[in-house]
A and B are shown apart, each in its own frame.
Chain A
Amino acid sequence: MIALILRDLRLAIRAGGGFGQGLAFLLILATLIPLAVGPRADLLAPVAPGVLWLGALLASLLSLDRVFALDLEDGSLDLLATSPVPAEGVALAKAAAHWLTTGLPLTLAAPALGPLLSLPASALPWLALSLLLGTPALSFIGTFGAGLTVGLKRGSLLLSLLVLPLYIPTLVFGAELARRGATGLPLLTPLALSGGITLGCIAVLPFATAAVLRVNLR
């Protein structure tokens, strides 16, 4: 499993797609929003946590269709399925690698983009914390969706249709945590729920992903 994570990281670095594109996407989004909404800080600041969260969510979605599709194409997925590593382990490793290549860099970069959207400095740690807690859930849910659609041609639109509704609770609690952090409201509830959803996803979804992978490989 560690070997699989390391391989995926190495591929992400070599292929150039993994780290770079998601971050570039978030940067573009953070640039376009003020251009669309107007430069007034009193308009931007309240929506900034939500916008950055939405950006992270979409950036995470962008790279999902590659999670299993490339491995299916070149036969690696067949080989992995016949290996001693259980399918649940493959699902876990794939989701972990996806988070390390998208969720983690987004978590680190989003606070740097906060000032572009007039987000006060005091809100930045909360934004980072909410993304740190929430983005792993996005990767695990997304990996499940990628497993569901892996055998399908033109599956990427369907993938968004399946995955985005599943993202809703994570988005609501994550963005709420960032917003409450920014305005100094009590934030124990969204904090606990964000963490809870992520832990639940990590614990349960690899089994669902493994089940759908087995169906799609047979």
Chain B
Amino acid sequence: MTLSVTNLSCRRGEAVVLRGVRLSVARGAALVLRGPNGAGKTTLLRTLAGLTPPVSGDVAPERCAYAGHADGLKAQLTVGEALRFWAAIFGGADVGPAVRAFDLEPLLDRRAAELSAGQKRRAGLARLVLTGRPVWLLDEPTVSLDTDNVTRFAAAIRAHLAGGGSAIIATHVDLGLTDATTLDVGQFAAGTATMQDDPFAEAVE
């Protein structure tokens, strides 16, 4: 089992939005998070990534690589520089496999400012390979990608899964991942707030 959490509660700002989350992904498997906007998909991913401390439950952020809405690219740096920077930050992996996986060879010397939205997205996601972490946490990874790029992206995910990795993906697009499990985040929606959410619930009637 690559990643498994039970009884996880997550907060967004002051409000606990998810309660009793249980999920697991095995090696080579993908988990697709579904749910309407505001259901807490982003919150769940940020909690799993260790950015937002969970209200309860344990997470394993050191095994997760997180890619949010923004790509983490600097307009003034070339794609090659950006990838080498992130490789150095994550322990100095070779950028070669990441470049090949997302077909970035022709873009290496281009500055991020000159890239199209889809190219930027690819460069941003290539960083996931560099982290060398098994579980990819992807928040709407196909936003601003056209059909070709979605296909290419899905292929990169499949390659990652085939290599023994796993992925948790919040997406509305069908990525054609054959053995992906779907998880409806809505079922974990936190009901009425308890004492833990509001420290002053009992103080004022």
Chains A and B touch (C-beta atoms under 8 A apart):
yes
List the interface of chain A (C-beta within 8 A of B): 2-4, 7, 10-11, 14-15, 73-76, 78-85, 217-218
Contact A3 B88 (CB under 8 A): yes
Given contacts A74-B74, A217-B51, contact A3 B85 (CB under 8 A): yes
Interface residues on B, range: 20 to 34
Given contacts A10-B81, A82-B65, contact A76 B74 (CB under 8 A): yes
B151 to chain A, nearest CB (A): 24
Given contacts A7-B77, A75-B72, contact A82 B89 (CB under 8 A): no
How would you classify the secondary structure of chain B's contact residues: helix, strand, loop or mixed? loop
List the interface of chain B (C-beta within 8 A of A): 49-53, 61-62, 64-66, 68-74, 76-77, 81, 85-86, 88-91, 124, 127, 131
Interchain Cβ contacts under 8 Å between A and B, 11 examples: A10-B77, A10-B81, A14-B76, A74-B73, A75-B68, A76-B74, A78-B72, A80-B89, A82-B64, A85-B89, A218-B51
Of B51, B86, B91, which contacts A78 at CB under 8 A? B51
Contact A82 B61 (CB under 8 A): yes
B47 to chain A, nearest CB (A): 9
A4 to chain B, nearest CB (A): 7
Contacts of B62 in A (CB 8 A): 84
Contacts of B127 in A (CB 8 A): 79
Contacts of B52 in A (CB 8 A): 217-218
* Interchain CA distance A10-B82 in the complex, whole Å: 11
Contacts of B131 in A (CB 8 A): 83
Contact B70 A75 (CB under 8 A): yes
Given contacts A81-B51, A82-B50, contact A4 B71 (CB under 8 A): no
Residue picked from B64, B66, B127, most chain A C-beta under 10 Å: B66
* Interchain CA distance A72-B58 in the complex, whole Å: 26
Contacts of A2 in B (CB 8 A): 88
